[in-house]
A = this chain, B = another copy of it.
């Protein structure tokens, strides 16, 4: 329950403070709040209301307040939240007080872009090493990092204390890479390959699949088209297969 706390009761030793298990949904939104807060800080705001921050983060204020209350955060009634303090709190909870080392595997089209993406560096991470299995790519330099052969992974992972791996290989190679990452102690993986990875308990995987995002949008397009089309038309029967599947693949609705 109460994450509440009274100042003046500092914790001891290597102690890690209550990292109460926040709801996943909340965790997923904290980074968004953090980004919004950094913007506010840069524009000189010292304090912000739940309403203001909610707008900046694209959520509603009730949700935001509930999320922040999970961290035991203190706002000031009648005033709002202290921007700087909240940044510290969220960064602490997200474990961003240390700059985490990340290994990126697969320096093809997408991997190349990721290696050069400065958003990682500016938001708490350090790409510590780049790997590829293709000798053609080994030795290439990207952003001051030389691409290493994947066989170097064990050595480098140890040297750099790498706990997070990013997979940007083709799908066919992804599971093997995941196994290699896990073998060297990586416990969090961000997977850009379009495939399901299986990993042991205790290892977290998040997946980003660009085509899937578009397909979800496509569904909504399809839906919108069908809605606008319905009212209009007088036309022929194109329809209703069992299961709601059209036989005639039809040209998307009408209107557009």
Contact = CB atoms under 8 A, between A and B. Distances in A.
Nearest to A39: B195
Nearest to A235: B14
A79 interface: no
A113 B98 CA distance: 29
Contact of A217 (B9, B15, B34, B204): B204
A119 to B, nearest CB: 5
A213 B190 contact: yes
A76 interface: no
A253 interface: yes
Interface string A105-119: 000011011101101
Contacts of A240: 5, 9-11, 15, 17-18
- A-side interface size class: 35 or more
B245 A32 contact: no
A106 B90 CA distance: 31
Interface of A: 3-7, 9-22, 27-28, 30-32, 34-36, 56-58, 71-74, 88-89, 92-98, 100, 102, 109-110, 112-114, 116-117, 119-120, 122-125, 161, 163-164, 166, 187-190, 194-196, 202, 204, 206, 208-226, 229-230, 232-254, 256
18 contacts: A3-B243, A3-B244, A5-B240, A9-B241, A10-B247, A13-B234, A16-B230, A17-B250, A19-B244, A35-B194, A74-B242, A95-B225, A120-B211, A123-B215, A164-B217, A188-B217, A190-B217, A208-B208
- A-B pairs, top 3 by smallest CB distance, nearest first, are A5-B242, A95-B222, A14-B233
